[in-house]
Structure 1
Amino acid sequence: MSVLMEIAMFPTDVGESKSRYVSEVLKVIKESGYPYQLTPMATIIEADTVKELSDLIPKMYEALEKMGVGRVYSVVKFDIRPARKNRLKQKIESVKKHIEV
């Protein structure tokens, strides 16, 4: 099974720039060992189960909590597909086949 989780998580009470805080969330993701892709609006992570990815969410929040933030905004989406692997790359390659001339 392949589970993709798209997550955006950042504090809302720290001013305009969020990059320092997002980088702490990314450290948690990187340390998990799961493949991921940072985008301008969110990060996409791939694992074998929903539970594996769901278990990362409180760890991400705790990283922000340790930084002393008072309010966190987060949006999470899942794409779950049995009998597939490596969709983080395959989905992009599939689309590129259709747009390459």
Structure 2
Amino acid sequence: MAVLLELSVFSICGEVSKRGEVARILRAFEDREIEAHLNPMGTSVECEDMPKALEVLQIAYDCMDSQRFYIIAKFDCYPQRKNMLEGRVERVLEEV
């Protein structure tokens, strides 16, 4: 099974810029050899199953040191497919 996860995690207090928070989460992913694709409004990660996707969310959660923060997570669960992250973008670009 493939689970495509898109997440956005940010504090709702403190600095206006959230790049430091995003960088901290991306470093944590890199330290655990989790391939993440950053985009302007979030980060995408392809996981083998839902438990792994939830583990990725937990890692992001653990990186936050703010008194209050917000997490948005979207899941695309597709049992018969792999490489959804790259393949999906490639298929759209073929249509352009």
Tell me if TM exceeds 0.5: yes
Q: Residue 72 in 1 paired to residue 69 in 2?
A: yes
1:15 is aligned to 15
Structure 1: 4+ residue segments shifted above 6 A:
none
Flag the structure with larger Rg.
1
Q: Residue 32 in 1 paired to residue 32 in 2?
A: yes
Q: What is the TM-score with the length of structure 2 in the denominator? A: 0.91
The one-letter amino acid of 2:38's match is L
Q: 2 CA distance for matches of 1:56 and 1:87? A: 17
Contact 2:3 2:76 in 1 (8 A): yes
Q: CA RMSD in A?
A: 1.2
Unaligned runs of 5+ residues in structure 1 are none
Displacement after TM superposition at 1:60 (Å):
1.3
Displacement after TM superposition at 1:28 (Å):
2.0
User: Within 5 A, what are the aligned runs for 1:36-55?
Assistant: 36-55=36-55
Q: 2 CA distance for matches of 1:49 and 1:5? A: 10
Q: What is the TM-score with the length of structure 1 in the denominator? A: 0.87
- Percent identity (aligned): 28
